[in-house]
Amino acid sequence: MDLNLVIALGIQIIYGIANLTLISLGLAIIFGMMRVINLAHGEFIMLGGYTVVISTNAGVNIWISMLIVAPVVVGVIGVLVERLLIRWLYGRMIDTLLATWGLSLLLIGLVTSIFGASTATTISPPLGVVSIGDYTSSAYELLLIGITVALCLIIFLTLKLTRLGLIARGTMQNEEMASALGVSTPRIYMLTFGFGAAISGFAGGLLAPVTGVLPTIGVAYIAKSFITVISGGAVILAGTVSASAVLGGVNGIVSFLTGPTIGEVALLFAAILLLRLMPRGITGRFFRKGL
């Protein structure tokens, strides 16, 4: 293997990790703070993609669509969902499984009914190509890595500096503490759910130019992000990033060596082993006091 291939592959694996982080963070925020397993997470990502496609086709600048419109629109949808559905289910977190599964089906059905089973997504990655020797990577992929890092930084600062973040940290350290202190006001829950949804929508928007945008595309994300978040454990950022690094790394390397299916299976096996060794996720053992 020549050096260029190693570099190109290294970038690819980092991209894979960033990708996994990106699709998982929204779920991690909602799970980490509210202990709600949002089965409609994949559909939030899907909605982000649709938002970008529709607004870009309507003439909005693609960067504005991706960086602003998608998270805002999906964030608002998240707040609506919280107000109309999730808030009736506090204290009954298992029932949110049923509710969000229903929501997931509803969103798929709704989008299919409105936009059809397949949608023209004529938006392209708005950047060129980067060459490493004989190998070429999409510059957009490199940008995505950068944006993911920036996103992690934003979430870090939000957790570190805001009141929402303070409560989040409390909840992560001790599930019962926050509710015992009475700080988990409905408003905080609403904001959290909206914030998580916005991050998912943001991810979906960013991925729209490099994946298919279809009503049923959420299914491709939900299992992987669910597994990543839980493997990471209760600590939102450190958990998701470390789990993405482990799982994405394993997936990337094994995929290259043996092929994608075994790569996927290796990712799943890695998650099982990880949870067996660390029964409360990575952050159950490491970075416990992290963010």
Q: Which of residues 104-123 bind another protein (CB under 8 A)?
A: 104-110, 112-113, 116-123
Give the number of other CB atoms < 10 A from CB of residue 22: 27
Compare residues 75 and 281 and give the one whose CB is closer to another protein.
281
What's CA 272's distance to the chain center, in Å? 20
Give the number of other CB atoms < 10 A from CB of residue 256: 14
**Are 51 and 70 spatial neighbours (Cβ–Cβ below 8 Å)?**
yes
Tell me which of 263, 282, 283, 291 binds another protein, using CB under 8 A.
263
**Are 285 and 242 spatial neighbours (Cβ–Cβ below 8 Å)?**
no
Binding residues for another protein restricted to 148-177, rule: CB under 8 A: none
What CA–CA distance (Å, rounded) separates 67 from 144? 12
- Closest approach of another protein to the CB of residue 253, in Å: 9
What's CA 168's distance to the chain center, in Å? 18
Binding residues for another protein restricted to 69-98, rule: CB under 8 A: 85, 88-89, 92, 94-95, 97-98
189 binds another protein (CB under 8 A): no
Q: Can you name the residues that pair with 112 across neighbouring β-strands?
A: none
Q: Which stretch binds another protein (CB under 8 A): 61-69, 129-137, 150-158, 190-198?
A: 129-137
Count of positions on this chain that bind another protein (CB under 8 A): 87
Q: Can you name the residues that pair with 138 across neighbouring β-strands?
A: 129
Compare residues 155 and 243 and give the one whose CB is closer to another protein.
243
3-class DSSP state of 136: strand
**Are 201 and 70 spatial neighbours (Cβ–Cβ below 8 Å)?**
yes
Tell me which of 74, 103, 147, 155 binds another protein, using CB under 8 A.
103
Burial degree of 156 (CB within 10 A; 0-12, 13-18, 19+): middle
Tell me which of 49, 165, 194, 281 binds another protein, using CB under 8 A.
281
- Closest approach of another protein to the CB of residue 244, in Å: 12
Binding residues for another protein restricted to 240-259, rule: CB under 8 A: 252, 255-256, 259
Binding residues for another protein restricted to 2-21, rule: CB under 8 A: 5, 8-9, 12-13, 15-16, 19
Tell me which of 230, 236, 238, 291 binds another protein, using CB under 8 A.
230
